């Protein structure tokens, strides 16, 4: 399903509201998992989220190109769709902030591990005082044994 199967504007508004609400709940669940530092658990619903996001993008583009697609939808249905859209945008903003936080934390951890590995490598390179300076490229020492 890449488009909604609807028969008119009223039905389209109702189905778009349902779609947007479901998509919002998935984004909020993903955000909660990110904040709980359990992003791997979000993989369980990524297929559904991706499929719904595709339908959402296509439907919103179609409505933007031809607003008459919502003809026949009453004021209440249009307001429900608008409210669902506002909630979706808020959920996306919160999700973006959580993703940015996760990215920053991950980069910090990777940087700390790399710095620790580099400091350990520098302290272990060569022999005697100032041995690290004799090996500026960080190349490992090689020992050759001719007993083969």
Per-residue pLDDT, 45: 95
Per-residue pLDDT, 56: 96
Domain boundaries, the chain: 9-124
| CA-based end-to-end distance of the chain | 67
The series of mean pLDDT values per 10 residues for the chain, 148 residues long, is: 79 95 97 92 95 95 94 94 97 95 86 82 58 53 62
Q: How far is CA 138 from CA 110, 113, 126, 132, 141, in A?
A: 19, 17, 10, 8, 9
Instruction: Report pLDDT digits (tens) over 31-68.
Output: 999 999 898 999 999 999 999 999 999 999 999 999 99
Q: How far is CA 17 from CA 60, 110, 142, 147, in A?
A: 11, 41, 67, 77
């Amino acid at each position: 399903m890449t488009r909604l199967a609807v028969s008119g504007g009223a039905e389209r508004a109702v189905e778009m509201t349902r779609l947007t609400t479901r998509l919002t709940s998935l984004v909020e669940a993903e955000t909660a998992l990110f904040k709980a530092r359990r992003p791997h658990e979000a993989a369980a619903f990524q297929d559904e989220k991706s499929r719904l996001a595709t339908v959402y993008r296509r439907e919103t583009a179609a409505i933007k190109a031809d607003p008459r697609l919502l003809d026949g939808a009453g004021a209440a249905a249009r307001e429900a769709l608008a409210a669902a859209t506002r909630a979706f945008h808020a959920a996306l903003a919160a999700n973006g902030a959580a993703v940015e936080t996760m990215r920053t934390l991950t980069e910090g951890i990777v940087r700390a591990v790399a710095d620790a590995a580099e400091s350990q490598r520098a302290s272990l390179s060569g022999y005697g005082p100032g041995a690290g300076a004799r090996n500026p490229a960080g190349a490992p020492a090689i020992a050759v044994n001719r007993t083969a």
